[in-house]
Amino acid sequence: MTQREAQTYWNQWHAFQQRNEKRFAKEFYKALQIQVRAFARTQDVMQIPTFPIYTVLNKLYTVVAPKWARISRDQSLKADDLFVTGRLGFNERIVELMRQYYGVNLLNDAELMTQYSREVIARVLSQAAETGASFDDVVAELLRHPEFSAMRARRIARTETVTAANAGAMVYAQNSGNVMEKVWIAVKDKRTRHSHRDIDGTRLDIDTAFNMPRSQQNAKYGDISMQQPGARQQPNGLPVPAVEVVNCRCTVAFQAKRDSRGNIIRR
Ligand SMILES: [Zn+2]
């Protein structure tokens, strides 16, 4: 893959990712506001529901992962594949494989995000107890609180679209029936974290994980390996530290290996 091809692939990725980030940020924002309203009604932090976030998360994975898997396939494979869908269609098969490979547990993820919402509300409540603010004041503050705002919604949408899309493309490539290589592609601007700028352009066999370079931000976690950008779990089963995932805008491209005659090598 030439520098120019990598750039073209990343540009296409960036447009796709931004479009979906915007779309789903709106939906996550609505979900967060539903949580605040549920609290306003019940006055009980434990009654804040998980399902509004879960519903959006589930939709995001079902839509974004197969869509990007298709684009990635058209962009990077440019050849036949033996991807087996069986009785399932392409989209369903991608989602099913993600469950198998990554043990994607969206309900658990939504529960963690909801737990965080509860913590934020508990903090605002304890501040109100000190200042003597009324319950109505608390609700008004929560409705415009950064953690229930478009800002958090955007952060969630960004992280989740990157995770879902790259995982979708990855499971497709792993099951394409071809011997594949993968290349990590980072955006080269000032906001890119150092470990991702350093790994940019690294090419590996598809099943080999990327060893993340040490940086100031990740030094305390020891060795970290990731199968693709946005991965939440390391091959050894440990979680990937959030510092490698949150606000990451990297992607991964794939290429089928060819023999000396230029024919694709089947797995
Ligand atoms: Zn990155």
Query: 210 CA to middle of ligand 1, Å?
Result: 12
Burial status of residue 34 (CB atoms within 10 A of its CB: 0-12, 13-18, 19 or more):
middle
**Residue 150: inside a domain:** yes
Whether 77 shows a pLDDT value over 70: the answer reads no
**In the prediction, which pLDDT does 71 show?**
92
Query: Is residue 97 scored above 80 in pLDDT?
Result: yes
What residues does the ion ligand 1 have nearby, CB within 5 Å? 196, 248, 250
Q: Please tell me the distance between residue 47's alpha carbon and the centre of ligand 1 in angstroms.
A: 36
Q: What's the domain range around 137?
A: 3-256
Tell me the pLDDT band of 136, cut-offs 50, 70 and 90.
very high
Q: How many domains does the chain have?
A: 1
The yes-or-no verdict on residue 79 having pLDDT over 60 is: no
pLDDT for res 143:
93
Quote the pLDDT of residue 190.
Answer: 72
Residue 262 inside a domain? The answer is no
Q: What is the pLDDT of residues 141-165, one digit of tens each?
A: 999 999 999 999 999 999 999 999 9
Q: Provide the percentage of residues in the chain whose pLDDT is more than 90.
A: 70
Q: How far is ligand 1, taken at its centre, from the CA of residue 204, in Å?
A: 17
- 264 pLDDT band, cuts 50/70/90, is confident
Asked, for residue 266, whether it belongs to a domain, the answer is no
CA of 267 to the centre of ligand 1 (A): 29
Segment 61-67 shows an average pLDDT of: 95
* Mean pLDDT of all residues belonging to the chain: 91
Does 123 reside within a domain? yes
Say if 190 falls within a structural domain: yes
C-alpha 217/C-alpha 244 separation (Å) is 9
How many angstroms does the Cα of residue 31 sit away from the middle of ligand 1?
26
7 C-alpha to ligand 1 centroid (Å): 15
Q: What burial class does residue 70 get, using C-beta atoms within 10 Å of its C-beta: 0-12 exposed, 13-18 middle, 19+ buried?
A: middle
Distance 162 CA to ligand 1 centre (A): 9
173-208 per-position pLDDT tens digit: 999 888 999 999 998 777 767 788 899 999 999 999
Q: Residue 78's pLDDT band (boundaries 50, 70, 90)?
A: low
Distance of CA 202 from the midpoint of ligand 1 (Å): 13
- 186 C-alpha to ligand 1 centroid (Å): 6
pLDDT of res. 224 = 95
Name the least confident of 5-9, 104-108, 119-123. 104-108
Q: How far is the CA of 235 from the centre of ligand 1 (A)?
A: 18
- Residue 263 within a domain: no
Regarding predicted confidence, which is higher, 266 or 164? 164
**190-197: Cβ within 8 A, 24+ apart:** 191/247, 191/249, 192/249, 192/250, 193/217, 193/243, 193/244, 193/248, 195/244, 196/229, 196/244, 196/248, 196/250
Residue 81 CB-half CA count within 13 A: 25
Residue 159 and residue 230: Cα distance in Å, rounded? 7
- The pLDDT tens digits for 83-92 are 777 778 888 9
Q: How far apart are CA 1 and CA 17, in angstroms?
A: 21
- Give me ligand 1 centre to Cα 215, in Å: 13
Q: What is the 249 CA–ligand 1 centroid distance (Å)?
A: 5
Classify residue 108: in a domain, yes or no: yes
Residue 149 neighbours by CB distance under 10 Å: 14
Paired with 13 in beta bridges are none
3-state secondary structure of 86: coil
pLDDT digits (tens, 9 = 90+) for 12-24: 999 999 999 999 9
3-class state of residue 71 by DSSP: helix
What separation in Å is there between the alpha carbon of 251 and the centre of ligand 1? 7
Q: How far is the CA of 234 from the centre of ligand 1 (A)?
A: 16
Q: How far is the CA of 120 from the centre of ligand 1 (A)?
A: 27
